[in-house]
Amino acid sequence: MYVIMGGTGHVGSATATELLNLGHAVTIVTRNADQAAGWRARGADLVEADVEDVASLRAAFRRGKRAFLLNPPADTARDTDVIERRTVANILAALDGAGLEKVVAESTGGAQPGYRIGDLNVLWELEEGLRHQPIPAAINRAAYYMSNWDGLLDSVRTSGTLPILFPPHTMIPVVAPSDLGKVAAQRLLSGVDDVDVRYIEGPKRYSPENLAEAFANALGRPVELAIIPRKDWKQSFLELGFSDRAAESYTRMTELSIDKGFDMPDDSWRGQTSLETYIRSRVEVL
């Protein structure tokens, strides 16, 4: 049995789907089984657990032999750094006594020690915690999720304008959730000696100009870029409803990612889903 955190989100769902398609038993960890009931029809089991409740999460892990770990994103209207660092600590605590033989953890390119730099320092703490506990742990460092742009689709469809923080010629390593799910499933099924850090991105890198073109082709209408200057980044997050502390963390994370080139090596594992294919699929669904 494979226990999957984040099964109702993009990457956890893709991981569970891949395992089910291969004929493996899967348990989805969810806070509300009624809201995740569709998984039962697909052949998965459900277990209710809360990442804020270590005992419930440990009990969920005990239902399987291997687990996919994903730290859930905190509500951006709150202090994301404080909440997400706490939930990382809870996940690590829940592994103690869980009886698992291997875990696979979702991390991010650019993960590094630091202070209030969003996923970069939060997921570094997850990686470090996994290195200092006895269960073999494989780390997947993902490129920028293509799904991060899903929320822009309606406004781009209506306005023909694509607001973005990245400078227009920045080459961004991106990856589709489906490809991340494939790698996570492969590593859940591989030997316990497969515990290195693996970097994962899509078949090629894209600029914001390429992104606007992909939206334009999928929507069948012109799409113009609206580049948000660096000095306005924090304010743009605040206008989206972020708390001041969350806006600070996300701003610093964006600055570091751009200034350090997203920290993805040239020999990253390459998925097959192009940005054009992903955007087109979302336009057809949403």
What DSSP assignment string belongs to 96-134? Answer: TT---SEEEEEEETT----SS-THHHHHHHHHHHHHTSS
CA dihedral 64, 69, 70, 71 (to 10 degrees): 110
- Its sign, for the CA torsion 233, 176, 189, 94, is positive
pTM: 0.97
Identify whether 169 is part of a domain: no
Whether residue 251 contacts residue 188, with contact meaning beta carbons closer than 8 Å, is answered with: no
**Domain-located, residue 20:** yes
Instruction: Please report whether residue 241 resides in a domain.
Output: no
| Secondary element (H or E) of residue 210 | helix 208-219
Would residue 282 count as lying in a domain? Answer: no
| In a domain? residue 105 | yes
State how far the Cα of 130 lies from the Cα of 173, in Å rounded to an integer.
25
Report if residue 220 sits inside a domain: no
CA dihedral 140, 77, 88, 198 (to 10 degrees): 10
In a domain, 245, yes or no: no
CATH label of the domain that carries residue 14: 3.40.50.720
Distance CA 247, CA 258 (A): 17
- Residue 119 near residue 83, CB atoms below 8 Å: no
In a domain, 211, yes or no: no
Candidates 16, 271, 36, 4; CA nearest to 146 is: 271
- What would the two tokens of residue 181 be? 């799910």
Q: What is the pLDDT of residue 112?
A: 97
- Parallel/antiparallel/unpaired status of strands 172-175 and 205-206: antiparallel
Residue ranges of the chain with per-residue pLDDT less than 50 = none
Please count the structural domains in the chain.
Answer: 1
Domain that holds residue 67: 2-148+174-202+265-272
Q: How far apart are the first and last CA of the chain?
A: 33
